[in-house]
Amino acid sequence: METKTCRMCGQAKPATSEFFYRRSANADGLETACKDCLAPYKRKSKAERNEASKRAELAYLVLRTVRKMREEEERAAAEKRRQRWLERRSV
C-alpha cells in the first residue's frame, strides 16, 4: 500500500481517504496534512463561519425591524397628511 507523510506531524500514513482529506488539486488527490492534524483547524474554521453567520442574521433582523418601524412611521405621517388635506378641503 502506498504511504504519504503528513506535512504537519511527519508521520507516514496510508495514502487513502481514511487518513487524508480529498483534494483534487493535488497530484495524488489528497491533502498534504492528515485528518488528525487538520481536524482542529477545520473545527475552528467552522465555528468562525457559524459565528459570522449568526452576526449576519442578527444584523438582518435589526435592519428588518428598523425598516418596519420606518414604514409604520411613514404610514402614520401619510395618514396625518391625508386627514389635514381632508379637513382643509371640507372647510
The x, y and z cell numbers of residue 19, run together, are: 487518513
Amino acid 54 reads K
Neighbours of 30 (CB within 10 A): 18
Domain locations along the chain: 3-90
Tell me the mean pLDDT in the region 4-29: 93
pLDDT tens string 32-54: 999 999 999 999 999 999 999 99
- Alpha-helical runs (H) found in 1-91: 35-90
Which residues is 79 bridged to in the sheet?
none
Is residue 91 predicted with pLDDT exceeding 90?
no
pTM given for the model: 0.55
Q: Give the bridge partners for 3, in sequence order.
A: 14
* Alpha carbon of residue 11 to chain centroid: 34
> Which three three-digit cell numbers place residue 29?
488527490
Q: What pLDDT score was predicted for residue 90?
A: 82
Per-residue pLDDT, averaged over 20-39, amounts to 94
Whether the predicted pLDDT of 21 surpasses 90: yes
pLDDT score for 83: 95
